Structure 1
Amino acid sequence: MSTFKPFTFDTVASIVTEWGAARRVGEILGSWTESRNLLIVTDKFLHSNGLLDAAKASLLKAGFTLSVFDDVVADPPESVLHDCVGQARAANVDLVLGLGGGSSMDIAKLAAVLIPSSQQLADLYGIGQVKGSRLPLVQIPTTAGTGSEVTNITILTTGETTKMGVVAQQLYADKVILDAELTTGLPALITAATGIDAMVHAIEAYTSRRRKNPLSDALAREALRLLANNLVATCEDGNNRPAREAMLLGATLAGQAFANAPVAAVHALAYPLGGHYHIPHGLSNALMLGPVLRFNLSAAAPLYAELADVLLGPSDGTVTDRATGFVAFMDDLMNRSGAPRRLRDVKVTEDSLALLASDAMKQERLLQNNPVELCEADALALYQAAF
């Protein structure tokens, strides 16, 4: 009799991992596809600072026609996606390349779906609502954090403070290019926040109440090992090539894990912080991780103990000792990363915590994955603990 429960695991079709790969992206894509009218989805900062220059030169040399949409912003609203699709349709693009952080890659995913489609964006929200196919899609991340390059979800800001997600198989990219050279210019604070974000993905995937499976577990463990062993090194020296490569691979592995074993309360509590205070997503996760880890100890201790063995080495200690050791390790690591540690440090006001808790409870898609059931009073207590 099998000891394995039935499970499904999905991920992107192809991953290229190579230092400097962006400098020869034209060669990589030219031998892969006959499409030549390419849309690059990015943000103005990356575009104006020359991070796209080598990639654009390589693509032009390989015979690609380029259209660059660089109006992506953090926590992108629906209007950004509509503008991107409009520009792409006018240029008759037949291939989409997301190059940047999670927001750019998220917009690239839905743009690839909507450019050739008659579906309306409003009909795509939720799980499995995308119909038909999309344009070929390539993703090149410039941060080691979101894992968006290998996930099948896009999050958009739908109101002043609310966000909604599109989850569909069509959002998995055809090809992902991991070039850690693109991450070397990241400031220490962004490196810390995005790195902790990736660690949250690994931890929440490993402890997810739904769809946790042996493949997602293996990816989460290796992701956590790579990220924990290299986070401080990349924060202290942004040009540390081995550490940068390890962080980028770790973030991608964590993305593959949580795309299949979905994230939970840390993310549910992080989203209102982004919606109300425009705190970057990775930093929001970092701020809520400690309180949620402690809240989940009652149910997740055996799994935390297993993660402690990954990070601290095998131990003869009790499950409780190893689990609390894991939580203490994560607290110490976040302290050493230099990222802000309290909500008050990022100008969250105490009188807004009840509103944040109310909004967090709307994230039912995420909360159902948490190891411990969470009510609004629990959410408020967690925000208070983080304050």
Structure 2
Amino acid sequence: MHPFSFATTAQLICETGSSRRLAGLCKERGARSVLVVTDSGITRFGLLDEVLPGFEHEGLPVAIYDQVLADPPENIVLAAVEQAKSVKADLVIGFGGGSSMDVAKLVALLAHPECAQSLADIYGVGNARGQRLPLIQVPTTAGTGSEVTQIAIVTTGATTKMGVVSPLLLPDLALLDADLTLGLPPAVTAATGIDAMVHAIEAYTSALKKNPLSDLLAREALRLLSANLHEAVHNGSNREARQAMLLGACLAGQAFANAPVAAVHALAYPLGGNFHIPHGLSNALVLPHVLRFNVSAANTHYGELAPIVLGDRLRSADPATFAEQLIEELGELSGRMGLPTRLRDAGVPEDMLPQLAKEAMLQQRLLVNNPREVTEADALAIYRAAY
């Protein structure tokens, strides 16, 4: 066994309806002024309606910043930081999808009264210093796992992104409440669910930091996600399936936070940056093609995951065929869940594929974790296979 370290969110509450206790949980942590970081869709669809009365009941002032965008740009982060400072927030809540939770992490850090760093100072690995405000994360999608990861992604240019990676970004509490996911459209449920499956698969094959604990979490995450994705997509009111998806996404997040993701994500990022394809769908579009590229180096690991995903649907009991069966299953999954299955169907022009391959190669932070080395020519071939 190689030496490894493992870090995650300090506390996890997995309970349907638990978001109604959010104000009390803030009060227990000594909060006197709270900022909720979210997006306009959350407020428009009333997901905070059963949460906010608790703050009035507790006599705890709460402000809402609801301007977070998908793939949040720097100005969004900075505006949220300024609001946190203006209301003298001493606790931050990320409430929403991965973008809202990522922004909340950075707000908790940059709005701390003793923070002397700018956003530009903290890009990269381990560059954040000092302290942060107490942070609670409440995911409303079962996908990103951002509630248990120490990374936040920011859009820094027209198509470029940067990450802040630091243990300081790990929240104090992650609260998983299926009630908050009941209204998710099937396509969003499907894309975020497949995103979480990618996290588990890539953590399980991570070249540098794969470890027994991340493996354990990845396998259980994949079991929960595989068993409940169809029900969550096609019968979205099923609370039990929704709660299982939230837990599966969280466990996958814990896995990849410690055994990082690789080429699927590296090739997905340029799709989001150039064409604003949602992150989960970007991953789904390239997933089977990256796995097929990797199979010569990861055949054993993929074979170990196949029975978890396929269960009694394994067509052959011969372990030599397991990896191929897994790849075929994941290649068919998006279509069964009602998602586009080809880049062309997602609005990607063919003449952009070489540019996408160039941009994917900038994601060396991710590519070093891939079980097989990826060249620019390889990336282009994968995009063409996905086209």
SS at match of 2:9: coil
Matched with 2:273 is 275
Equivalent-residue separation in structure 1 for 2:174 and 2:75 (angstroms): 26
Q: Is the 8 A contact 1:343 1:386 kept in 2?
A: yes
Provide Cα deviations, 1:186-209, integer angstroms capped at 9, x if missing partner.
000000000000000000000000
Matched with 1:123 is 121
Q: More displaced, 39-48 or 60-69?
A: 60-69
Deviation at 1:313, TM superposition (A): 4.3
**Alignment pair present for 1:38 and 2:37:** no
Q: Within 5 A, what are the aligned runs for 1:295-306? A: 295-306=293-304
Deviation at 1:53, TM superposition (A): 1.4
Q: Is the 8 A contact 1:198 1:255 kept in 2?
A: yes
**Alignment pair present for 1:103 and 2:89:** no
Equivalent-residue separation in structure 1 for 2:56 and 2:198 (angstroms): 38
Provide Cα deviations, 1:156-179, integer angstroms capped at 9, x if missing partner.
000000001000000000011100
Provide Cα deviations, 1:119-150, integer angstroms capped at 9, x if missing partner.
01111111000001100000000000000011
Q: More displaced, 377-386 or 303-312?
A: 303-312
Matched with 2:184 is 186
Q: Is the 8 A contact 2:137 2:174 kept in 1?
A: yes
Letter in 1 for 2:23: G
Aligned residues: 383
Matched with 1:311 is 309
Q: Is the 8 A contact 1:30 1:62 kept in 2?
A: yes
Deviation at 1:319, TM superposition (A): 4.2
SS at match of 2:30: coil
CA RMSD of aligned residues (A): 1.2
Deviation at 1:112, TM superposition (A): 0.3
Equivalent-residue separation in structure 2 for 1:350 and 1:368 (angstroms): 27
Aligned to 1:145, which of 139, 143, 146?
A: 143
Equivalent-residue separation in structure 1 for 2:46 and 2:100 (angstroms): 16
Letter in 2 for 1:203: I
**Alignment pair present for 1:20 and 2:17:** yes
Q: Within 5 A, what are the aligned runs for 1:48-63? A: 48-63=44-59
**Alignment pair present for 1:113 and 2:131:** no
Aligned to 1:167, which of 162, 165, 168?
A: 165
Q: Is the 8 A contact 1:302 1:319 kept in 2?
A: no
Equivalent-residue separation in structure 2 for 1:319 and 1:293 (angstroms): 17
Equivalent-residue separation in structure 2 for 1:312 and 1:175 (angstroms): 33
Letter in 1 for 2:14: T
SS at match of 2:50: helix
Q: Is the 8 A contact 1:17 1:178 kept in 2?
A: yes
Deviation at 1:287, TM superposition (A): 0.5
Q: Is the 8 A contact 1:301 1:319 kept in 2?
A: no
TM-score scaled by structure 1?
Answer: 0.97
Equivalent-residue separation in structure 1 for 2:184 and 2:192 (angstroms): 10
Deviation at 1:67, TM superposition (A): 1.1
Matched with 1:325 is 325
Q: Is the 8 A contact 2:14 2:176 kept in 1?
A: yes
**Alignment pair present for 1:286 and 2:284:** yes
Letter in 2 for 1:384: R
Aligned to 2:220, which of 222, 229, 238?
A: 222
Deviation at 1:346, TM superposition (A): 1.1
Matched with 1:335 is 335
Equivalent-residue separation in structure 1 for 2:34 and 2:26 (angstroms): 11
Deviation at 1:318, TM superposition (A): 4.6
Provide Cα deviations, 1:38-74, integer angstroms capped at 9, x if missing partner.
0000001111221111111112211211111011000
Matched with 2:360 is 360
SS at match of 1:144: coil
Equivalent-residue separation in structure 2 for 1:320 and 1:366 (angstroms): 29
Letter in 1 for 2:2: K
Q: More displaced, 153-162 or 318-327?
A: 318-327
Equivalent-residue separation in structure 2 for 1:46 and 1:293 (angstroms): 35
Equivalent-residue separation in structure 2 for 1:191 and 1:55 (angstroms): 22
Equivalent-residue separation in structure 2 for 1:345 and 1:178 (angstroms): 33
Equivalent-residue separation in structure 2 for 1:312 and 1:269 (angstroms): 26
TM-score scaled by structure 2?
Answer: 0.97
SS at match of 2:142: coil
Deviation at 1:320, TM superposition (A): 3.3
Q: Is the 8 A contact 2:196 2:252 kept in 1?
A: yes
Deviation at 1:288, TM superposition (A): 0.7
Equivalent-residue separation in structure 2 for 1:232 and 1:340 (angstroms): 16
Matched with 1:204 is 202
Letter in 1 for 2:106: L
Q: Is the 8 A contact 1:38 1:93 kept in 2?
A: yes
SS at match of 1:99: strand
Provide Cα deviations, 1:209-238, integer angstroms capped at 9, x if missing partner.
011000000000000011011111111111
Q: More displaced, 328-337 or 203-212?
A: 328-337
Q: Within 5 A, what are the aligned runs for 1:58-77? A: 58-77=54-73
Deviation at 1:109, TM superposition (A): 0.1
Q: More displaced, 248-257 or 234-243?
A: 234-243
Deviation at 1:8, TM superposition (A): 0.5
Equivalent-residue separation in structure 2 for 1:54 and 1:155 (angstroms): 29
Q: Is the 8 A contact 2:26 2:91 kept in 1?
A: no
